[in-house]
Amino acid sequence: MAEHYSSFSSEDTRWLLQRVTAVFLVGVLAFHFMLLHFVHHAAEITLAGTTARMSQPGYFVTMVLFLIAATFHGVNGVYNALVNQGISGTPRTVIKYGLTIASVLLIAQGIRVAWVMTGGNLI
């Protein structure tokens, strides 16, 4: 009797990923904030310092994962919010692809920046 509801099997995967990324982000975001606002004050940040941090492979990987997780969590959240507002049909498809493209661009740009920040010193 539920035939008129189209099945959307990725929904529970997205729901779960949203939670998993949330847990990851809570930890990393706290670390990020502490490091860049309390340990190093934002005003004192220079590319040299950034490069020093980014050159550590662990830090680099964490930041890239941080970026990917945050982008997924944020963009998926935005998409859910819009769906809950009742967006459906073509606008919904457009938004879905629009958001996907934006995510990919953001992640690509982020990784590119991170790579530049290593200054080629990544060990």
3-state helix, strand, coil in the chain (%, to 5): 80, 0, 20
- Residue selected from 46, 58, 89, 90 as contacting other proteins according to rule CB under 8 A: 46
Is residue 31 near other proteins by the rule CB under 8 A? no
Sort 54 into a burial class: Cβ within 10 Å, 0-12 / 13-18 / 19+: buried
Q: How far is the CB of 78 from other proteins (least distance, A)?
A: 6
Q: How far is the CB of 123 from other proteins (least distance, A)?
A: 19
Is residue 69 near other proteins by the rule CB under 8 A? no
Is residue 42 near other proteins by the rule CB under 8 A? yes
Is residue 44 near other proteins by the rule CB under 8 A? yes
Task: Compute how many other C-beta atoms are within 10 angstroms of the C-beta atom of residue 44.
Answer: 7
